Amino acid sequence: MRKSVLILTGILFVLVSACSTNPFTGEKNLNFVSNAELFPVAFQQYDQFLQENKVVSGTQEAAMVTKVGQKIKNAAEAYFKSKGLSQSLEGYQWEYKLVQDPAVNAWCMPGGKIVVYTGIMPIAQNEAGLATVMGHEVAHALLNHGGQRMSAGTIQELGAVGVAAATSGKSETAQQLYQQAYGITTQFGAMLPFSRKHENEADEAGLILMAIAGYNPENAIAFWQRMEANSGGGAPPEFLSTHPSSSTRIRNIKSQIPDAKAAAAKFGVKF
């Protein structure tokens, strides 16, 4: 019992000491993975991905990815500078690539390494649609969501160790039941809501970035409506998903647009 108490106490200490202030939102977040640790690994994985996949260049779509990416980057740097937080972007190495793949997807690795798949371009349709996508993905990187997810995963693993220690005196069947209950509870009660919270944060910050970059954030509504139509209603129930439902997302975005426009107005951008 004493051992389990020590382990659980250690977990609590990690939870408390790992909280840091997010430079973009000013909120306290669980993150004990530094950019200095994360960026080199992300950059290596990005380079490897590009070597193993077909990068599209010399096309209008590729040029649009570069153009929108640059404008989102400039918006991010202007926003952080206005907050006196330019140092938070140290180590970022911005790069934007269009990759031949039918998947309706895009992503941004920690440190500003962005990939847009050709499969999402027909849904993006134009620069504003693409800015919705890239603003969202860049926001994930600026909000340090990668480090937060890694930190949460580590805490979940430590919790499993604590459960094992606390139930070590019980039968093997009982121990398995406790571990299964812990896994289900943390997955549906913590990890999935945690991921959906990240998506909402990235939507909100992405709207600000695209607005500062000169793209009307109202265009995000039409983009997500096209995404919803493209899914054909085949998405899993929200509580089983890492992402909010399309209806929830669209509703949240509508409420976030005024703040995005207000933020852009401070940089002389009005809609």
Catalytic site residues? Answer: 137
**Residue ranges in 167-234 assigned as alpha helix (H):** 172-186, 192-212, 219-231
Token digits of residue 87: 């140092």
Sequence-distant (6+) residues with CB within 8 A of 116 are 65, 96, 97, 98, 99, 106, 130, 133, 134
Sequence-distant (6+) residues with CB within 8 A of 3 are 165
In whole angstroms, what is the distance from residue 159 CA to residue 47 CA?
34
Q: Burial level of 262, CB count in 10 A (0-12/13-18/19+)?
A: exposed
In whole angstroms, what is the distance from residue 203 CA to residue 260 CA?
11
